[in-house]
Structures are given as structure tokens and as C-alpha cells.
Structure 1
Amino acid sequence: MEVDVPRDFLMDTDDQVQSPLFRLPLEVRRTIYELAFKEQPIDDGNYVKGISDENFIVDECQDQQDSAHSTLKIDGTLPNWLRPGCTTRLKTETALLRTCQLVYIEASSLLVSTMVLRCYQGYGPTVGSYRYLKRLTVAQRSNVHRLHLFSQVRDFDRDGPLLRQKLEPVAKSLQHLTITLRDLGDSPETPMLLNPYQTGVAKSQAMSQYMEKTKRGEELNIPPASWASSFAFFPALKTLTMELEDQEGRESELESFAQWATTWKFPLWGNQFMSSKTAPSSRAWQRPRPQYNDELYGSYKPPPRIITWIIRWDAPPTRTVANDVASQEEIMPTTTETDDEPLFQRPAYDPRLGGLNSIFAHASESTLRELAEWGVI
């Protein structure tokens, strides 16, 4: 990775030949920088006091983890977003950047490129995580390569442009995107709904029809307004990983859904497509069991296991990212709204509007934009 540094700035920089670090090849130094910037958990930084990854039962590790899992004492319920890998805050030590000017020039861009930025849609340990992307400097945005998005399915697919709008600040540099879709069925009684071939909220009947068309080998096209078309707005994207989750008891249904997902082909800019080349994999995990006082609460049913299927899509190896980025300038949406300054003033309550009052109060910014275009507001 090259760092664009002004020539006069480099002329004022000591070459540091007396340092053993700078007698190493640049490739070796960059490896050292990446190791130094590796995220580490913060001591006593658990989101919930006393809860860590060791308190979750994960797949075949159940026997080894039963002790920590069963002796855990929790008074009350755990937040829904708590999961293995998301139990404690992480930090990146940046003291290395303050050692000298030459280290800063070589290593500053790697600070962001080695991190996995995490965004939570709906609920999570942080509020307004998308705002963090807007606060990044231009140089930092150009080096964001990895991002992990956590979302409820109902929040993810109900607004097609949402993905491209929220990730727009880092869209040109993003190379590896992971999306965890929690509670695919929303509840044990509702069907699993996620359909790349449909705009808006997925419908059970329509999704079944598309699954049958796939079995018959029919060629299906993804509409431009679908969430699945958003990946064409990430010109540097190399891999997409989706984690599809639901509760135990629906293993066969979830597996069938994951197998169908491997047939999806996401359009990329330049008339190319991202496809899945490997078989999906699965894992299971279970939340810690709260130990209630039996005299007050009676017997307690253990929390259900969460089944996760992981599917990965890859961009074609012949993709010319440089040309894509240049062309992307013409189609990239310009996001002018901020979380604090919405594009539209939400109308005040009016009894004559009936149910529209609820829409005005809770609709997303993109929905309000459409209502304005239709002349409703």
C-alpha cells in the first residue's frame, strides 16, 4: 500500500538509518505495523459485566465450556445483540505513530486498513455507528477495507437504497464486507424472508416462486431498487460474506435457504457479477443461562441455540478495480443528509392524516424523500 505524501514533507524527514527497524525491508516493517495495530480487548471493557466469549457454548466446544456457561450468575436478561465476538470493547494502540515522522508516514494508512469497522443497524452496543464513518478523514476513508454490518432482516431489506447510502463514505475503498442478518424469521412462527429479486419487504409467496424458478434453472434478474443491487456501488469490493441466523428447530429450513442463497449473483459495476464458489458452512452457539432464584421465578428454560449459515461471494479475478472506481464517480450517490440534520422536516401531527402520522414519525429518510417526490409532503 502506497501512501501519498507531499515531497517537501519527505525532505524534512530523517531517514532513521540508526534504527534497526528501518534497516528491515519495507514489506517486513509493514507486517510489524499491522501486528502492532491489531485490535485487542479492553480490560474490564465487557459490554455486560462478567460476560465474555468463554460464557457462550459454540458448536462442538460445548463440553469444554459447560462449566463457565452453567456457573454464570446473571440477574435479568441479556441484550439481544450480545454474541461471541461481540462481548467486549476493542482498542487499537496508536503510540507507535508518535515515535517519529517517518513511522507515521509509513504506518498511518495501515491503522485503518487493518481494522474491521463494525456498524449496527437496529440495535447494538453503540448508537449511531454510521456516524463514525462520516467523521473519518478523507485519507482514512480511502483506506477502509473491511466492514462488518449487523442488522435485523426486517430493517435490512425494507429500504433498498439504505445499504449504499449508509456506507457511502467508505464505498470506494471497501474490499471485504460481512453482513450478519439476525433472526432471519423474525420469530419462530414467521417464515424466513429475504429475497434479492424483490424490492421492499420480502413476501413469502413471491420468495417461494423465485426459489422454484431457481430450481428450474431460470435466469433471474435483480431489480435496480433491490438491496442486492447495492454492491454495484462498491467498486473495490472483492468479497461479500453473509451470515444468516435463526433459532434452533428450523435447521432444515435454514439450510435450504442457505443453499438457495449460493445461487444468487450480485451485479457489480462494469457488467460483472459476484458469485458464490464454495459450499456454505454452518455453526451454532448459545447464550449463557441466567440463574434466577427458583423461589421467585420458578424453573427457567435455557435459551435456544442460534444456528448460523455462512455464505461467501467473490468478485471475478479479472475485475479491473481502477476503471470501476473512475466510472463509479458518475453514478455514486451524493449523501447530503446527516443523522442530526435530516433532509426533510417531519410534518407535525394532524388528525386528518390518520395512519400517515405514524409513517411521518417513523419513516426513514429515503422514504420521506420518496413521499416528497410524490407530493405527499
Structure 2
Amino acid sequence: MEVEIPRDFLMDADDQVQSPLFRLPLEVRRTIYELAFREQAIDDGNYVKGINDESFIVDECQDQQDSVHNAQEFRTLHNWIRPGCTTRLKSETALLRTCQLAYMEASSLLVSTMELKCYQGYGPRVRPSRYLKRLTDAQRSDVHRLHLFTQVRDFDRNGAWLRQQLEPVAKSLQHLTITLRDLGGAPGTPMLLNPYQSGVANSQAMAQYMKKTERGEELSIPPASWASSFAFFPALKTLTMELEDEEGRKIELESLAQWATTWKFPLGGNQFMSSKTAPSSRAWRRPRPQYDEELYGSYKPHPRIITWTIRWDAPPIRTVANDAASQEETMATATETDDEPLLQRPAYDPRLGGLNSIFAHADESSLRQLAEWGVI
């Protein structure tokens, strides 16, 4: 985890030129750090002994009672244990202890390479906002990936709930995944999720908006809707939503997923996140618990769960200049009219980290701006 580094610590860092690692470009070293910090499953670290991702595989050719993946019976299995959430993960941090320079360059990447998991309703941790506030300021500024597990009744009841829960990492969050469980709720309850409606969605309004979409009408997101929350995450690049429910609502779920690909979520600066790829689906089933058939009668397998995944992408980030032509014109004018000698680019300094790359590629006008700000 990143901590504040004293200035004398940075000044005393050896440039490590004898090391092959530090003779590589900074961009390459950062890639190496990210690979080194990538989370790996802990051997025998399953939350429940004998339960792993394969335990949730659905074999279409066999009844679940005879499936080899579900032969291991268990006594209890929490609802939050599911594919992708069956074992503890760890990141190796030995690299940070090798030298001051490695720590200085790589410490911030430790958190940024992780995908934090937050649970609302039921799960292994407290609600998202309390969990995220436990991180230090430096750690929160490095959170780039987050996976939120919640239910629709928590998600759309209050349009501000999402941004309130994720507010501690709002400025740094780049990739957000939201898994919405039990969309239908009780048996027979229609599947409800509507970005164009403030408050709890209802089937009548959803049907109307679906028809408007089919007619090609332009729809707007209300400011009080949950769908307006993404404008409060200025660094957000991708949004992934997993919509899942029991197999009995398979047709409804697919219809909702296809409609969701037409949604456009507002961002700052009159920009929108949109879906550019077709949604994908998968099926899984909770493994069989220990069961006394003599006491309770014949065992009925858990229903299959269908999960649809949809991804939205933010538009590419524009440069500081409004367009490339105006930027080139500014550079040309500065070159022709300035009588001052060209600024000398700073020499490479390992203590400057990513600034070395900026100094090496900045144009002349940008260098002058950096000089005016006192950076160089």
C-alpha cells in the first residue's frame, strides 16, 4: 500500500544503473510491476473447502446430482460465494522491498492493479462506503478497478445511492463492474430496471420506454436516476453490468440485456458512455448442499442462474487543445515569433518517475508552460 515518502528518502535513492531492470524504459518497468503485482489465487485458500469455480459449472448432459463438479457436498455456502468469488487472492510485494527506487516507482501500482470487491445487501464485508473509507487517502487515490455486488431493490430505490457509496474513490475510479442479482425478486415478480425513471422502476413505464427505443426516439436520463451517477466519476473509462436471474426468467432477462445495449449514460462535458459490443451470457448453478433425503424427501437441484454481461465505454479523452489543427498552429506561431532560445529538456532522472516521459515528448510551447509553473 502506498504511503507518503519523505523527501530525503527520495533524494537518497540510488539510480541503480547497474541493474538491467532500471536500464529499461519507465513504461516497460511499469508493465513489469503490474505483472508482478497481479493477484493470484492462494493455494488451498478456498472460502469453503472443496468449493471452487468448477463447482458452479452446469453440465447440460447430466443432472446436477450426478455431476462430478458437484459431488463434493458442503454444509453451508454463503450467498456471496459464486463463480469468481470462491478463493482468496494475494499480491506478491517482495519487489517493493528490494530498493528505494523500486518502492518509489512501483508502490502506487500495487492498489491500482487490484480489483476491489464491495458487497451490498449480503456479503463478506460492510457496505461499500464504509469499506472504502477504511483505506488511506493514498490508497483511495490509487483505486482504479472496483466490482460492486448488489441487488436491484438497493440499487434503484435512491438515485444518489451509487455515487454516495463510491464517493471515496469517485475521482480515481476507471473501471467499474456492477453485478445486479435477483432482478426479479420473488417468484412471479417482473424483471425491473429502468435508467429513464427516477425511483423504483415499474413494468408499465419500462414497456413504454422499450417501445420508444424501438421507434428510435431520443431518450434522456433524469438527474435523479441511478443512471446519472456515472457523471460523478470523472476518470471512468469502462462500465460493465452483469444482470442475472433464475432460468425461469430467461426470456425476460435476455430482452432486458438487449435493451440495455441501447442505453447511453451521461458523463461530464456533454459526453456519453455507450455500448459498442453485443452482450454475452453464461449459465451456472450453486452446488448441492448436504441433504437428508429421508428427512426432507427427494432433493431438487438449485435452479440455473443466467448472467448477461453488457459493457459501456467512455469516448476517447481529448487533448488539452480542442483539436490537433489548432495545437499545430499554436506551436508554429510560437516557433516563428519567440526570440528566446529553445528551452533545454531536463536530463533523465530516475527520481522523476513518469515526468521523464513527459519531458522527453513535450512540445516547445508545453515546455515553456512547465517552466512558467516552476516544474522545470
> TM-score normalised by the shorter chain: which range applies?
0.7 to 0.9
Query: Displacement of 1:321 after TM fit?
Result: 9.4
The verdict on how the C-alpha distance between 1:32 and 1:168 changes in structure 2, with shifts beyond 3 A counting, is: same
Deviation of 1:24 (Å):
3.0
State the one-letter code of the partner of 1:148.
Answer: H
Conserved in 2, the CA contact under 8 Å of 1:268 and 1:274?
yes
Q: TM (normalized to structure 2)?
A: 0.78
Q: Match for residue 250 of structure 1?
A: 249
> What's the offset of the Cα at 1:78?
2.6
- Following superposition, the deviation at residue 29 of structure 1 comes to 2.2
| In 2, Cα distance between equivalents of 1:320 and 1:203 | 42
Identity among equivalent positions (%) equals: 84
Partner of 1:49: 49
Matched ranges for 1:296-315 at <5 A: 296-315=295-314
- Residue 68 of structure 1 and its aligned partner are, at CA, apart by 3.7
2-structure distance, mates of 1:66, 1:236: 48
- Kindly indicate whether the alpha-carbon contact (under 8 Å) linking 2:128 and 2:166 is maintained by their aligned counterparts in 1: no
Letter in 1 for 2:23: R
Counterpart CA distance in 2 for 1:148 and 1:251 is 24
2:345 maps to none
Is the 2:279–2:309 contact (alpha carbons within 8 Å) kept by the matching residues of 1? yes
For 1:233-312, list aligned pairs within 5 A. 233-312=232-311
Aligned to 2:26: 26
Moved more, 11-20 or 152-161: 11-20
Describe the SS at the equivalent of 2:172. Answer: coil
Is the Cα contact below 8 Å between 1:59 and 1:284 reproduced in 2? no
Contact 1:195 1:207 in 2 (8 A): yes
The alpha-carbon deviation at position 222 of structure 1 amounts to: 0.8
Kindly indicate whether residue 70 of structure 2 is the aligned counterpart of residue 70 of structure 1.
Answer: yes
Cα pair 1:59 1:285 within 8 Å, conserved: no
Residue 191 of structure 2: SS of its match in structure 1?
coil
Counterpart of 2:336? none
Question: What SS class does the counterpart of residue 248 from structure 2 fall into?
Answer: coil
Query: Do residues 198 (structure 1) and 197 (structure 2) align?
Result: yes
- 1:158 aligns with 157
Preserved CA contact (<8 Å) 2:59 2:67:
no
The number of residue pairs the alignment matches comes to 319
Please give the per-residue CA displacement for 1:155-175, whole angstroms capped at 9, x wherever unaligned: 111111111111111111111
Within 2, Cα distance between the matches of 1:32 and 1:88?
25
CA contact (8 A) 1:280 1:311 kept: yes
Q: Deviations over 1:218-253 (max 9, x none)?
A: 211111011000000001111111000010022211
Of residues 287-296 and 207-216 in structure 1, the stretch that sits farther from structure 2 once superposed is 287-296
1:183-225 Cα offsets, whole Å, 9 max, x none, are 1111331000111111111111111111122112221111101
- Tell me by how many angstroms 1:182 deviates: 0.4
User: SS where residue 228 of structure 1 aligns?
Assistant: helix
More displaced, 235-244 or 29-38? Answer: 29-38
5+ residue gaps, structure 2, are 323-376
Distance 1:72 1:322, change over 3 A: farther
CA 1:310 to 1:318, structure 2 compared with 1: closer, same or farther past 3 Å?
Answer: same
Judging changes above 3 Å, is the alpha-carbon distance between structure 1 residues 271 and 101 closer, same or farther for their aligned structure 2 residues? Answer: same
- One-letter code aligned to 1:303: H
Please list every run of 5 or more consecutive structure 1 residues that lacks an aligned counterpart in the other structure.
Answer: 324-377
Q: Give the aligned residue type for 2:123.
A: G
1:8, distance to aligned residue in structure 2 (A): 5.0
Retained in 2: the 8 A contact 1:74–1:292?
A: no
Are 2:58 and 1:38 equivalent residues in the alignment?
no
Q: Is the 8 A contact 2:128 2:165 kept in 1?
A: no
- Contact 2:129-2:167 at 8 Å conserved across structures: no
CA contact (8 A) 1:241 1:313 kept: yes
Report which stretch shifted further, 276-285 or 225-234: 276-285
- Is 1:47–1:125's contact at 8 Å kept on the other side of the alignment? no
Query: How much has 1:71 moved relative to structure 2?
Result: 1.3
Pair 1:15-2:15 in alignment: yes
1:290, distance to aligned residue in structure 2 (A): 2.1
Change (3 A) 1:43 1:318: closer
Aligned to 2:166: 167
Q: How far apart are the structure 2 equivalents of 1:321 and 1:278?
A: 29
State the one-letter code of the partner of 1:11. M
What CA deviation, in whole Å up to 9, does each residue of 1:340-372 have, x standing for no partner? xxxxxxxxxxxxxxxxxxxxxxxxxxxxxxxxx
Q: Note the 1:68-217 alignment, pairs <5 A.
A: 68-75=68-75, 77-217=76-216
CA distance in 2, matches of 1:62, 1:270: 53
**Larger displacement relative to structure 2 (286-295 or 43-52):** 43-52
* AA at the equivalent of 1:229: S
User: Displacement, 1:61?
Assistant: 10
Cα distance in 1 for residues equivalent to 2:113 and 2:44: 24
